[in-house]
Structure formats: structure tokens, C-alpha cells
Amino acid sequence: MTRETMIERLREKGLKITPQRRLIIDVLLERQPFHPGASLIYAEGKKRTPGLSLSTVYATLHEFSRCGLIKTLEFDQMENRYEVNLEEHVNLICQRCGRIIDYPSPFIVDQAELTEKTGFLVQKTRLEYYGYCRDCLGDRAA
Amino acid sequence: MTRETMIERLREKGLKITPQRRLIIDVLLERQPFHPGASLIYAEGKKRTPGLSLSTVYATLHEFSRCGLIKTLEFDQMENRYEVNLEEHVNLICQRCGRIIDYPSPFIVDQAELTEKTGFLVQKTRLEYYGYCRDCLGDRAA
DNA sequence: ATGATTGCAAATACTTTGCACACCC
DNA sequence: GGGTGTGCAAAGTATTTGCAATCAT
């Protein structure tokens, strides 16, 4: 994903291209693979555009996520993280330092092999499907 | 999982059996499958033991989770939820009403089949591994 | 011109913490 | 008795909201 592609996607979706959005795109695309949280994006962005506001960061990330430009990773013990890598992959989340590593497989993998390749030791697997339950599926029409 | 089993597990782990913990266990075990949040457990518990405090609920859920008695489900847009079902399964999370349905497979499943069986329409799959990255694995010894 | 977007401040939601007291083992 | 567990209040963290001003199209 490049800067230009993302801006193009914004345009397609009818979103305005503001300096703040360009800035946030830049931060997101730096040092890939990157999984920054809102506060990091804010801090990084503020260095270059001191006027940047945290609510703008949140609003922007919402929009981007809603449009499928980025993926939001939600956690309990730490703030949400955002990623631009939209290819199917598994996120390996370090419970100690919060580091997030991309592993290029959308499927449940052999953990021994995973550890061998990445040095990551799996403690807990989390597999969840988000969507609509039967009731809400019916209501959604309305 | 029964009330007695859970209390036994507490004993094994060297945790004290207090009235509050019994109460929270009872709430957790009711109307299975159940995925209550801290606030629901608190509300339900307070009905029966008005003195119950929310911090006790949180502390208790932490301990239970730490000991592997329950599993904590973490979300962004809603509070954490807790479940006693420790068997391998997938959680189907309704993005509209927050309902959580257990699906008895630890593996990625055929989504058409899943929808047919449960009425749940999958929008987003989330597969994550939690554990320790290479660096933290080394540090952990210390 | 017009509506989307921004920035600020305040509010919210959830969770954690400090500390004194109470209770389980 | 000793230390874990509890309850209260206060603080903390992440995120959201209301609203007026500003900017992109």
C-alpha cells in the first residue's frame, strides 16, 4: 500500500484529502510493518504538525477503518492499534512488550513451525468471527 | 464446569473462598452459555449481596482469569466479557447487539455452513496469537 | 457555497489503585 | 495471627462528544 493508493482510495470514497489525513497516512506507512496506536500516531504527527489534535487522529482512524483502508486491532490491556497491512495474515501479539508481528497466513498454523520461524512462543490463540446474529440480521433490513 | 469444580480449583491455587467469590462463580455459571461483562456480574451480584463492590468484581475476575478458571474476551467498543466455557471453540460476536455465541470448533470453519447452522453472518474474522516475542522470551528468564 | 473536517474542552466509559478494615485459613 | 481479600473513593486511561471555526471541493 502506497501513499498515493491510499489517497486515491480516499477520493473514491468521497472523503476529503486534508493535510491531517495526508500526515496520518504518512505516519501509518512509515517503518512497515507498523502497528501504532492513536497516541503514537498523534505524538509522531504532532512533531511535524504541532496543531494536530488527538480527536482528529481518532476521527481519521475511524474513517479510514470504516472505509477499509486500515484495520483496527482492539485490545484490553493496551490501546487500539492500527495496521495498513490488509493482506490475510495472523497477528502475533507479545503480551509483555505489546509488539505485534505479522505472520503471513490466514490459517491456524503449526505452532512449532511458527516459533521456529519467528521466535514467537504462543500462549493463547484467539479466533473470533464478527458479524451479525440471526436476530440482528433480520433487523438490519429495517 | 460446576460450582464445586471451580471452588476446588480455587483451593488448589491457594486462593481463598470468600462469599463474594462464591457469588461471582454462581453468576458466571448461570444461564450458560453466558458471556457477561463486569458490570452485568456486578449488577446481578449486587441483587443478592448488596454490599458487593465493583472493584471486588474486577479483582475476582482478574484472579479467576489469571488462574485459568475463566477466559477474558477483550473488545474495543464494549466492555470485556468473561466466559467459563474453556473448551476449544470460536466466539461469534454480533457487532450490533454484542451477543456472543459459542461455536464448537477451534478451527477456521466454512462460513456458509456456519451461517446455515447458526444464522450468524460473518463479516470479519479475527485470528490472533498471544504469547512472547523472541526478545521477551529471553528476558522472561530474568 | 456548502458540508465535511478540525481543534478544543469537557464528558464518558471502563478499569485500576491506594488504603483501611474485615475475614479466611 | 497473618496475610489475602474487600469496599470505598479517587485517579487513570482511552476514547467520544458538542460545538464553533476552518477548509476542501
Q: Please name the member of B108, B123, B131 whose beta carbon is closest to the beta carbon of A107.
A: B108
d(CA A73, CA B36): 22
Question: Which residue is nearest to the C1' sugar atom of D4, using CA?
Answer: B16
**Among B114, B133, B134, CA closest to B123:** B114
What pLDDT does residue A31 have?
80
Question: Tens of pLDDT along chain B (142 residues)?
Answer: 899 999 999 999 999 999 999 999 999 998 877 899 999 999 999 999 999 999 999 999 999 999 999 999 988 778 999 999 888 787 887 776 778 888 876 677 778 888 888 888 888 777 778 778 888 776 654 4
Which residues of B touch chain A, with CB atoms under 8 Å apart? 72, 74-77, 80, 90-97, 99, 101, 103, 106-108, 111, 114, 118-137, 139-140
What pLDDT does residue A116 have?
87
Predicted TM-score (pTM) of this structure: 0.81
For residue A33, cis peptide bond before it (omega within 30 degrees of 0): yes
Which nucleotide does the CA of B16 lie closest to, via C1'?
A: C24
Contacting residues 45-64/A vs strand C (CB within 7 A): 49, 51-53, 55-56, 59-60, 63
Question: Tens of pLDDT along chain A (142 residues)?
Answer: 899 999 999 999 999 999 999 999 999 998 877 899 999 999 999 999 999 999 999 999 999 999 999 999 888 778 999 999 888 788 887 776 778 888 876 677 778 888 888 888 887 777 778 778 888 776 654 4
**Among A50, A72, A76, CA closest to A60:** A72
**Backbone phi, then psi, for A60, in 5-degree steps?**
-65, -45
Q: Are the beta carbons of B96 and A125 separated by less than 8 Å?
A: no
Which residues of A touch chain B, with CB atoms under 8 Å apart? 72-77, 80, 90-97, 99, 101, 103, 106-108, 111, 114, 118-137, 139-140
Q: Is the CB of B37 under 7 A from strand C?
A: yes
Close Cβ partners of B97 (under 8 Å, ≥ 6 residues apart): A133, A135, A136
